[in-house]
Amino acid sequence: MNNLLDLLISTLTQGLVYALLSYGVYITYKILDFPDLTVDGSFPLGAAVTAVMMTSGFNAWLTLPASLLAGALAGLITGIIHVRFKVRDLLAGIITMTALFSINLQIAGSNLIVDRNTATIFTSPVVEKILGSTSLITRKLVVSLIIVLLAKVVLDLYFKTKSGLLLRAVGDNSVLVTSLAKDKGTVKIIGLVISNALVALSGSIVCHEQRAFSSTMGTGQVVFGLATVIIGATLFQKFDIIKGTTAALIGSIAYKAVMQLAISLGLPANLLKLITAVLFLAILIFGNYQKKNAGRIIQKGSSHA
C-alpha cells in the first residue's frame, strides 16, 4: 500500500518536473508553430551545467538560474541560425542539438554522478527547515510543484503582456507582425530563448532528482514534449478557457502516468521508446480524427519564416 502511494507520488513528481519541458515545447510548437529539435540538446545541457556546478561545490539553487541561462543561449543560437541565416526550422534545431551533444560531453563528460553528501534543491537547508521531517519523496513533490506552478504563473502572465501578445501573434500570422513594424525574426528568437531556457531548467531539476547527468538523457525529449503538448491540447480541445500551459502540465503528468503503468505491468524498459512512438502516433491520429469531426473553423494564417 505504502509502495503504491510512493509510486504515485514519484510518478506525479516526474510529470511535474518534465512539465517544464512541455511548457517550452508548447511555446515553440503551439505558439510559434516551430518544431524545435534543440530540446534534445538543451535538456541535457541544463543537467550537465547542474551536475558540474554541484560537484564543484556551488549552492544547489544557483544551478537553476545557470541552467536557465545556458538553455536560453542554446535557443538564441537556434534562433539566429534560423532567422538570420535563413536555415529551415527543423534543420536549425538539428544543428544546435548536434553541437550541444559535444558541448555537453565537454561540460560534464559522458556520465557525472553527484554524490550522496551534496545537497540538492530537495535536500538543501532551506527545504529541510520548511519541510523538516517529511520523506525525501514528499519533499521532491512539494519543491517540484512549487517550481512548476511558479513557472506556469510567470509564463501565463508573460503571455498577457505586450511582448507575449506579439509572440502569440507571430505564430498565428507573422504577416501582421510585419505590418506592425516589428521584426518577426526577433520575436521568434525571443520565443526560442524562453522555450529552451525552460527545457534546460527541466533538465536541471531532473539532474537534482536523479543526482546524475548522462550524455544520452536528451534522446527522445522532443518527442516527449510534442506528445504531452498534443495530449494536453487534444484532451482540452473543447475547453477554450483551459490555458495552454495547464494543458501541457496535465499532458506531461498523464504521459508519465501511462509510461509508469506500462512499466508496472512488466513492459521491458528497452521497449519504452517504441511505446512512446506508438503512443505518439495514436495521439496524432486521434487528434486528426477529432479535428475532422469538429470541422476546423479557425484556420491558421499563413506563417512563414
Partner 1 sequence: MLELRNITKIYNPGTITEMCLFDSFDLVVGDGEFLSIVGSNGSGKTSLLNIICGSIPIEQGEVLIGGDNIAKMQDYKRYNKIGRVYQNPAMGTCPHLTILENMSLADNKGKTFGLTSGINKSRRKFYQEQLAILGLGLENKLDIKVGLLSGGQRQALALIMSTLTPIEFLILDEHTAALDPNTAEIIMQLTDKVVKEKKLTAMMVTHNLRYAAEYGNRLIMMNSGEIVLDRAGQDKLETSIDELLQLFNKISIECGN
Interacting residues with partner 1 (CB under 8 A): 158, 160-166, 168-169, 172-173, 175-184, 297-302
> What's the min distance (Å) between Cβ of 180 and partner 1?
5
> What's the min distance (Å) between Cβ of 172 and partner 1?
4
Between residues 211 and 243, which has the closer beta carbon with respect to partner 1? Answer: 243
Hey, what long-range contacts does 276-281 have (CB within 8 A, 24 or more apart)?
Answer: 276/220, 276/223, 276/224, 276/227, 277/223, 279/227, 279/255, 280/223, 280/226, 280/227, 280/230
b (16+ CB within 10 A) / e for 8-20: eebbbbbbbbbbb
> What's the min distance (Å) between Cβ of 248 and partner 1?
16
Between residues 242 and 262, which has the closer beta carbon with respect to partner 1? Answer: 242
Between residues 181 and 269, which has the closer beta carbon with respect to partner 1? Answer: 181
DSSP state of 26: I
> What's the min distance (Å) between Cβ of 154 and partner 1?
11
- Residue positions counted in the chain: 305
> What's the min distance (Å) between Cβ of 175 and partner 1?
5
Q: How many CB atoms lie within 10 A of CB 297?
A: 5
Between residues 133 and 302, which has the closer beta carbon with respect to partner 1? Answer: 302
Between residues 80 and 145, which has the closer beta carbon with respect to partner 1? Answer: 80
CB within 8 A of 219, min separation 6: which ones? Answer: 40
Cell 527545504 locates to: 127
> What's the min distance (Å) between Cβ of 163 and partner 1?
5
Between residues 61 and 159, which has the closer beta carbon with respect to partner 1? Answer: 159
Across-strand partners of 214? 111
Question: In the numeric block, which cell numbers belong to residue 255?
Answer: 504521459
The answer to whether the beta carbons of residues 221 and 39 sit under 8 Å apart is yes
